[in-house]
Amino acid sequence: MEKKKKANLLYSQKVAPYVFVLPFIICFAIFWVYPLISSFVMSTEKIGAITREFVGLQNYKKLLTDKVFHTALINSLEYTVFTCALLIPFPMLYAVLMDGNLVKAKGVWKAMMYVPALTSVVISGTLFRLMFTEYKTGQMNVLMAALGLPAFKWLKVKWTSEIALLTLCCWRWTGVNTLYFMSGLKAIDKTLYESAKIDGANSHQLFKYITLPLLKPTTIYVLTISIYAGLAMFLESFMLWSGNDSPKNIGLTIVGYLYKRGIQKNDMGYACAVGVVLMVIALVINFIQLGLNGTLKEEKD
Round to whole Å and give the CA distance between 10 and 45: 45
Write down the pLDDT at residue 164.
93
- Average pLDDT of the chain is 87
Phi, psi of 52 (to 5 degrees): -135, 125
By percentage, how much of the chain surpasses pLDDT 90?
43
Spacing of C-alpha 259 from chain mean position: 18
Side chain identity at 197, as an amino acid letter? K
Round to whole Å and give the CA distance between 92 and 245: 35
Nearest CA-CA partner of 80 in 166, 154, 156: 166
Q: How many CB atoms lie within 10 A of CB 97?
A: 12
User: Which pLDDT tens digit goes with each residue over 61-71?
Assistant: 999 999 999 99
Domains of the chain: 1-42 (no CATH), 58-300 (1.10.3720.10)
Spacing of C-alpha 164 from chain mean position: 17
Q: Is the pLDDT of residue 144 over 80?
A: yes
CA angle 111, 207, 110 (to 5 degrees): 0
pTM: 0.86
Round to whole Å and give the CA distance between 23 and 29: 10
Q: Is the pLDDT of residue 117 over 60?
A: yes
Q: Is the pLDDT of residue 243 over 60?
A: yes
User: Which pLDDT tens digit goes with each residue over 206-238?
Assistant: 888 888 999 999 999 999 999 999 999 999 999
Strand partners, 47: 52
Nearest CA-CA partner of 87 in 278, 267, 224: 224
